DNA sequence: CAATTAATCAACACGGTGTTCATTATATGA
DNA sequence: TCATATAATGAACACCGTGTTGATTAATTG
């Protein structure tokens, strides 16, 4: 029935599941290999047959996810900043694919982005996003700097943090929003200012300045 | 010369300094009490005369900072969303005070917000900001929901993450921006969309929709 | 100078780590 | 089916950081 590889795979799945389970009560740092093996009813020695240590486990799990993110960014990013998507009120394919990926790994993302998770998770994905966005910007606007009074580094970090914040809000929440709804929220996050989102005098601070009084 | 209290205070300052020093190479979780006492040339037993454990140390340090944040938010928030500041191109006093506070504790904030820092640091300040903003919104717009197609929870989290991102970018960077410049960047973050910041067709996705096809 | 308090030092049991080696359980394929 | 791999178990090991204790030294106070 079960091959040797399937047997190993099942053990590793148990280990990963136990990691996420332990993560409900403890920080990643507080979780011990002993915790994981206790929860997964696996011998502690067995753990070390599969992973070098706890860090190795976490690295493999997160790298697996990050690779999928990179794949999406590298293959789908070309369509971003295409105005047609706005006129159709459709999210960029990149965005849609990323959201779908998150949906497929919601528990993992919730844990890793959460207080108990891996502090490296957010920065790693953030950096991937940042690179992809920068490439597209250069393609659209040329190599020069593209600031409206705001240093590039700030502007780009704000975009990535906007995307990450929406995703985090989504996985943290009750999950009532569909994938497409979340993708559309991200799209709005690109062309709406915070005050516009809140319905606060959308034009009071337009770029031309306002000398009403 | 040095009183007993000053003696103790100096020891605690050494401990805190050693914590930040150790944080340059290790995660907060990886830092051991032994690390801290080695760096500060203090007996390990002495550490336990001042703090219950490593967590207690971190909690005291962060709580001290967070209390100052709350004080600013509670005393200065009233002026926020006052249009006059926009017409004068001046940052809200709240923003200015927060930026000044960060400037005074730059190394601490850099560490705590960084990958090696306390995973609770960001969420705690974020929650404080969120509460303050919500209170002001209710004051300005009444108790109802204030969405422009974006759920409230998302919109408010986006504002706080925008502020936090700018602050993190600042403390991470070379520090070339002055306090006032950073405060102004935050102000722009309130009424500019990411695409507007990057100088990308600021009106292509306005709220009325664009059916140019 | 005597009393008080801060800091040091050595020793302790405890718990998790990563490794080892022998043993048991399961799958493979001739 | 049976011998052979290989996956998983179980027990033991030294190592390291923890948090505590009790005795000692150092510094401040009045």
Averaged pLDDT, A142-154: 75
Averaged pLDDT, A176-183: 95
* A154, A166, A209 member nearest B166 (Cβ): A154
Does B186 lie in the same domain as B120?
yes
Does A181 lie in the same domain as A125?
yes
Does A61 lie in the same domain as A47?
no
Domain membership of residue A185 as a residue range: 55-197
B89-137 tens-digit pLDDT: 789 999 999 999 999 999 999 999 999 999 999 999 999 999 999 998 8
The pLDDT value recorded for residue B202 is 45
Find and give the residue nearest to D27, measured CA to C1'. Answer: B4
> Does nucleic acid strand C have an atom less than 7 angstroms from the CB of A41?
no
Spatial separation of the C-alpha atoms in residues B71 and B186, rounded to whole Å: 20
The pLDDT value recorded for residue B76 is 85
Find and give the residue nearest to C8, measured CA to C1'. Answer: B43
B125-183 tens-digit pLDDT: 999 999 999 998 888 877 666 666 789 899 999 999 999 999 999 999 986 899 999 99
Does A109 lie in the same domain as A77?
yes
Does B125 lie in the same domain as B171?
yes
**Is A117 among the domain residues?**
yes
* Contact: A185, B84; criterion CB under 8 Å: no
pLDDT band at A206 (very low <50, low <70, confident <90, very high): very low
* B83, B165, B201 member nearest A157 (Cβ): B165
Does A38 lie in the same domain as A76?
no
Does B45 lie in the same domain as B69?
no
The count of domains in chain B is 2
Does A70 lie in the same domain as A40?
no
Q: Pick from B26, B150, B156 the residue to mutate for testing the A interface (most A CBs within 10 Å).
A: B150
pLDDT of residue B69 exceeding 80: yes
The pLDDT value recorded for residue B187 is 95
**Is B65 among the domain residues?**
yes
Burial annotation A74-94 (CB, 10 A radius, 16+ → b, else e): eebbeebbeeebbeeeebbbb
Contact A162, A197 (CB under 8 A): no
Find and give the residue nearest to D18, measured CA to C1'. Answer: B33
**Is A67 among the domain residues?**
yes
The pLDDT value recorded for residue A34 is 96
Averaged pLDDT, B37-44: 96
**Is A208 among the domain residues?**
no
A 35-74: CB under 8 A from B: none
The pLDDT value recorded for residue B145 is 66
* Contact: A210, B185; criterion CB under 8 Å: no
CATH of the domain at A37: 1.10.10
Whether chain A has a CB inside 8 Å of the CB on B181: the answer is no
Residue owning tokens 């004068």: B88
Q: What is the count of residue pairs from A and B with beta carbons less than 8 Å apart?
A: 192
**Is A80 among the domain residues?**
yes
Whether chain B has a CB inside 8 Å of the CB on A32: the answer is no
Does A4 lie in the same domain as A87?
no
Residue of A139 and B148 predicted with greater confidence: A139
Whether chain A has a CB inside 8 Å of the CB on B188: the answer is yes
**Is A11 among the domain residues?**
yes
**Is B5 among the domain residues?**
yes
Cβ-Cβ contacts under 8 Å for A47 (sequence gap 6 or more): A15, A33, A36, A37
Residue of B39 and A84 predicted with greater confidence: B39
Spatial separation of the C-alpha atoms in residues B32 and B27, rounded to whole Å: 10
pLDDT of residue A123 exceeding 80: yes
pLDDT of residue A207 exceeding 60: no
Averaged pLDDT, B76-93: 80
Round to a whole number and report the distance in Å from the CA of B117 to the C1' of C6.
30
The tokens of B110 are what?
A: 């850099």
Does A72 lie in the same domain as A17?
no
Contact B11, B100 (CB under 8 A): no
The shortest C-alpha distance from B192 to chain A (Å) reads 5
The pLDDT value recorded for residue B148 is 64
Averaged pLDDT, A90-108: 96
Does A184 lie in the same domain as A141?
yes
The pLDDT value recorded for residue B170 is 97
Round to a whole number and report the distance in Å from the CA of A10 to the C1' of C30.
28
**Whose CA is closest to A193, among B166, B201, B191, B205?**
B191
**Is A73 among the domain residues?**
yes
The pLDDT value recorded for residue B144 is 62
Cβ-Cβ contacts under 8 Å for B169 (sequence gap 6 or more): A153, A154, A157
* Contact: A190, B209; criterion CB under 8 Å: no
pLDDT band at A208 (very low <50, low <70, confident <90, very high): very low
Least confident of A35-49, A131-145, B31-45: A131-145
* Contact: A192, B162; criterion CB under 8 Å: no
The pLDDT value recorded for residue A147 is 64
Q: Report chain A's terminal Cα–Cα distance, integer Å.
A: 80
The pLDDT value recorded for residue B198 is 86
Does A88 lie in the same domain as A39?
no
Least confident of A46-55, B51-60, B118-127, B169-178: B169-178
pLDDT band at A80 (very low <50, low <70, confident <90, very high): confident
Spatial separation of the C-alpha atoms in residues B213 and B200, rounded to whole Å: 19
């Amino acid at each position: 029935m079960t091959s040797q590889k399937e047997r190993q795979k099942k053990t590793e799945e148990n280990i990963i599941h136990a990691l996420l389970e332990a993560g409900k009560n403890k920080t990643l740092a507080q979780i011990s290999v002993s915790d994981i093996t206790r929860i997964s009813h696996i011998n502690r020695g067995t753990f070390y047959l599969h992973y070098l240590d706890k860090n190795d486990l976490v690295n493999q799990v997160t790298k697996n996810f990050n690779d999928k993110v990179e794949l999406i960014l590298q293959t789908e990013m070309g369509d971003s900043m295409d105005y047609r998507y706005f006129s159709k009120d459709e999210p960029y394919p990149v965005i849609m694919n990323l959201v779908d990926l998150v949906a497929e790994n919601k528990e993992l993302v919730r844990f890793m982005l959460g207080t108990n998770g891996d502090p490296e998770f957010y920065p790693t994905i953030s950096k991937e996003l940042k690179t992809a966005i920068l490439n597209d910007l250069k393609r659209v606007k040329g190599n020069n700097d593209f600031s409206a009074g705001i240093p590039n580094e700030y502007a780009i970090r704000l975009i990535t943090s906007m995307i990450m914040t929406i995703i985090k809000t989504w996985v943290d929440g009750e999950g009532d929003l569909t994938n497409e709804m979340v993708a559309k929220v991200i799209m709005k996050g690109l062309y709406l200012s915070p005050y516009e989102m809140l319905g606060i005098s959308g034009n009071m601070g337009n770029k031309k300045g306002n000398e009403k009084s």
